[in-house]
Every structure is written in structure tokens, then in C-alpha cells.
Structure 1
Amino acid sequence: MSTPSYALADSVTMLRRNLLHAKRYPAMTFSVVVMPVILMLVFTFVFGGALEMSSGGNYIDYLAPGMMMVLPAYLTVSVAVSITTDTTKGIVNRFRTMAISQPSVLAGHVVGALIQALLGIAIMVAVALLIGFRPNANPVEWLAVFGLIGLVMFSLSWVGVAIGLIAPTPESASNMPFPLVMLPFLGSGLVATDTMPVVMRQFAEYQPFTPITETLRGLLMGTEIGSNGIISIAWCAGIGLVGYVWSMSRFRKQVG
């Protein structure tokens, strides 16, 4: 078997380990998957009436694409905590003594988070449909939606891995990604950016979650996407590259 084949097999083994861990200890997965759904329900039924009166539209149609970005941000916390737990409990040191591909330890966490994110998005879409979400996307557009969300999750997961490797405790790992968790709320996910004060609008329009949200909204609801699709992919590529290089650099220092 070639070296890439060994690395792939080891990554699959690490993925299975992380999925089994999530199944046995579901509290973290439950909270990061269910909390965005609860927030969607709160925003819909608390603020939705007022926003529908002012906009004349169905607020859940506007809100749902934005809330889809909350789930990947929340799952980044789960990745960071899982990585820190492994490093502080000495599990990574045990893997160092085994004949396995060392990066597969990290890859298992990343792919596991990706699977959880896509399942979580499916749950969120189901709940949104029950409360009035009415997208007009065709099958190809739905595939593009899940593909973009998967790309976002993959990119953010590597940032979560890096945070988990530098955090001294699982508690600190759960707090360090807080600015990242807040970004979806500080973009166009909840309200249009042109309703914001000037300084806030400038920040919202030039942070990564706004073009991604607008791309999802365009795919699902038929609104104008423009250059947002290209910008979204560029943001994901940049974030993923920085996260990967940062993660591998920290990981090599720890296992070297």
C-alpha cells in the first residue's frame, strides 16, 4: 500500500474514532447543532413579526440562509475543544508511538465536523420548512448550497484545529473562538446591511460571512448573487489555507 493510501486509511480510522466519541458523548454535538436551530426559532417568532411589517416579506425566508452560517461557526468551538481534550489528556502522545500518519489525527476531527455540519444543516432546513421557509432552489442549487456550506465548514475546522492546539485547557478552547462565533450575527444574516449605522455597515459588508450568506440567499431564494460567489470561495480558500498551515505548524512542534 502506498503512503497516500496509508494516510487515507489512517484518516478514516481517526474519523470513525471521532464519530464514535460524538455518539458516546453527545452533549457538545447536541448543543452546537441544536442551538442554531433554537436561535432561528427565537429570531423568527420574536423579531420576525416586526421585520415582516417593515419589509413586507416573509422574515424566515430572509433569516434561514443567514442562520445556516451560525452552525459552522458553532462547530468550530467543538473542533477546538476536541483537539485540546486530546492533547491535554495525552492521547496525541499515544498516537505518536503508533505507526500511523500523524496528520490523520487532525484530519479525523475536520471530516467529522464536516459530517456533523451537513447533518445539522439538514435538520435546520427541515425545521425552517415547518415554520414557513419557502425556498425556490432547484436540485442543482441545493447541491451548491450544501457544497458551499461544506467548504465553509472545512475551512473553519482548520482554524478550530489551530485554536485547539494552542489552547491550554478545553475551557479556554471553548472561549477563544467567540469572535468567530459572533461574525455571522454581525453580517447580513439577520438584517440587511443597509439598515445599519455607517461603521457597522462597513464592517458587515467586508467580513467573510456576508458574501457567503448572500450567496446562499441567492441560491435558495433567487436573489442577486453577483460577485458574492467568487468572493465567498476566495474567503474560504484563504481561511482554510491559513488554518491548515497554522495547524500543521503547531502540530509538528508538539509531536516533533
Structure 2
Amino acid sequence: MTTREKNPAAREKNPAATAADPVRNHGSVFWAVSDCWNITRRTLTHYQRHPSAVIWQLGFPILSVLLYGYVFGSAMKVPGGGDYREFLMPGMFAMTMAMGFMNTAVAVVTDAAKGVVDRFRSMPMAPSAFASGRGAADLVVAAAELTILAVTALLMGWRADAGVMAGLGAFGLLLLLRFSLIWVGVWLGMLVPTPEAAGGLYAVAFPVTMISSTFVAPSLMPGWLGTIAAWNPISSTATATRELFGNPVAGGDTWVEQHALLMALVWPLVITLVFLPLAVRRFQHLSR
């Protein structure tokens, strides 16, 4: 029997025992936080025992930095001038945080395929715990990934010239983007039927991250494509972090590009408000 009595009738038959047990008197908020922590700890323990998962997640962005920074970097131009590698790195930070939602989706659908999600649903746990616990764990891993990627960038010669506080604010925006997209990953992970099907989502995620200001300024793209890239939430975060880091910024005349810092806050808020409830609701309505 768990600390939370599964049988309500048993509690009704023995109210004195329930009143005397301080554990059972905790409210729903306590159990939501406690269950969230248990899911978070379980996920982080998995990463600790399988560090290759984090190494694999970092492989693509590091290779992309080396490829675009050293192989193609000499041919790339930054509107208004400036070093391309300094322009590239904030975009790569944003792209790495954005692509992370695919790792979340694959992890969730893998748990579902192994019956882990059904096991969680059979337990007396808070409905929000699975999504919130997964989100907290992925945010910790994302912070570690961002730290390693930043060290790689520093070794390549990238510098943040706008000061410590501005730099911390930029990293905060990057983690905010990752936090919002976690819920997209959790929701998608509970929609797709198999881990193999989740792998197919990369065909959608890759162009979404590429059609942005990650590698080139939207003003250098064809008109219609540049408009799509400018309104991409990843572009707003990339441009805002470039401004905060003091790196070259992709110039643009559109409203969204001129208010990149504002939109780097608005986009994650909107994404979270939409997909967090969807993820929790999807978990609640999974077939038993």
C-alpha cells in the first residue's frame, strides 16, 4: 500500500487513522510537487546511467558549428557586417534548444511502448506529474547541454561582449524556449504510436529549425521564405540573444524582427499555454 491510501472506502471506515497520519493530510499541491520530483529524479537517473544519450544529443549541434563555422563560414555574409561565427553561435544555441523537443517526444513514446506510462497511470499520482516531471528533468539536461555548447563556442573564439548580466539574460531566453517546447514534445510523444514513428517527426522538425535566422538573415532569403523565417519563434530567440550577447544581429525591417526581445518572451508563453494543458489532458485520456 502506498502512502496515499488507494481505497477511499477504507479511509471512510477509519477516519481516526487518517486524521492521525500526517502524510495522508497533505493537500493536492504537495502531492503534485512530490510526484513531479519523483518523475524528475527517475528521468535524471536514466541519463546518469546512460550518458551516451546526452552525448548523442550534443553531437549534431557541435558538428553543425564546426561545419558552418569553419567549412562554410568564409562564404557567409552578415547584413551590416560582422564576424559570421559570432553571428552563428547564438543561432546554434537556439536551434539546439528547439531541436530538444524531439528528444523529449522520443523518450515519452519509448516509455509508453514499454508500458511505463501505463504503470504511472495505474498509480495514485497527480495527473500533471508526468508532464511536469519530464519537463523539469529535460530542462536540467538542456542547461547542461547549453553549458557544454557554450564552452565549445568559447574554444572556437566566440565571445559575449555585452556583459555578464546580459549574457545570463540571453541564456535565460534560450532555456525559456526549451521549456516551452518540452510540452510540444510530451504531447507529440503521447500521440505517436511507436518510437520508430517518433523518429519520423525529424522530417518536420528539421525544416522548422532551418527556416529561421539560425544560419542566415531572413532578409537574404526570397521574400515569402524570409517572412516565414522572420516569424519563426526560433528566429526571435536567436535575434534577441544576439542582441544580449553583443553579437552581430540579422537586420530586418519587419515588426517581429525589430521587437525580437519582446517576441522571445511572448512566443514561449503562448506555446506553453497551448501545449502544457494539451499534454496533461492527453495523459489523462490515454486508453488503459
TM range (shorter): over 0.9
**Are residues 1:246 and 2:246 paired?**
no
Q: Match for 1:233: what amino acid?
A: L
User: Aligned partners of 1:32 and 1:171: how far apart in 2?
Assistant: 17
Q: Which of the numbers 266, 269, 275 marks the counterpart of 1:234?
A: 266
8 Å contact kept, 1:141–1:219: yes
Residue 170 of structure 1, CA deviation: 0.9
Larger Rg: 2
Partner of 1:171: 196
> Match of 1:62?
87
How far off its partner does 1:25 sit?
A: 2.6
CA distance in 2, matches of 1:185, 1:90: 34
Equivalent in the alignment of 2:253: none
Structure 1: gaps (5+ residues): none
Deviation at 1:181, TM superposition (A): 3.6
User: How many correspondences in the alignment?
Assistant: 256
2:41 aligns to what? 16
Give the CA deviation at 1:54. Answer: 9.2
Question: How many percent of aligned residue pairs carry the same amino acid?
Answer: 30
Match status 1:153 vs 2:178: yes
In terms of mean alpha carbon deviation, does 85-94 or 38-47 score higher? 85-94
Give the 5 Å matches for 1:85-104.
Answer: 85-104=110-129
Q: Does 1:81 align with 2:106?
A: yes
Equivalent of 2:226, from 195, 201, 205? 201
Q: Compute the displacement of 1:159 (Å).
A: 0.2
Distance 1:124 1:12 in 2: 27
Map of 2:149 onto structure 1: 124
> What is the CA–CA distance in structure 2 between the aligned matches of 1:249 and 1:2, rounded to whole Å?
21
* Change beyond 3 A, Cα 1:218–1:89: same
**Would the aligned equivalents of 1:86 and 1:92 in 2 still touch at CA under 8 Å?**
yes
Gaps of 5+ in 2: 1-25, 250-256
- In structure 2, which of residues 49, 53, 56 is the aligned counterpart of residue 28 of structure 1? 53
* Partner Cα separation in structure 1 for residue 260 and residue 269 of structure 2: 14
Contact 1:29 1:78 in 2 (8 A): no
Report deviation, 1:213: 0.8
Residues of 2 paired with 1:36 and 1:135: CA distance?
A: 19
Question: CA offsets, 1:5-37, max 9 Å, x none?
Answer: 121111111101001112223333222123212
CA distance in structure 2 between the aligned counterparts of 1:215 and 1:11, rounded to whole angstroms: 31
Q: Could you tell me whether the CA contact under 8 Å between 1:118 and 1:149 is conserved in 2?
A: no
Q: CA deviation at 1:162?
A: 0.5
Q: Is the 1:137–1:221 Cα contact (8 Å) retained in structure 2?
A: yes
TM-score (norm 1): 0.92
Whether contact under 8 Å (1:159, 1:243) holds in the other structure is: yes
Q: Give the CA RMSD over aligned residues.
A: 2.1
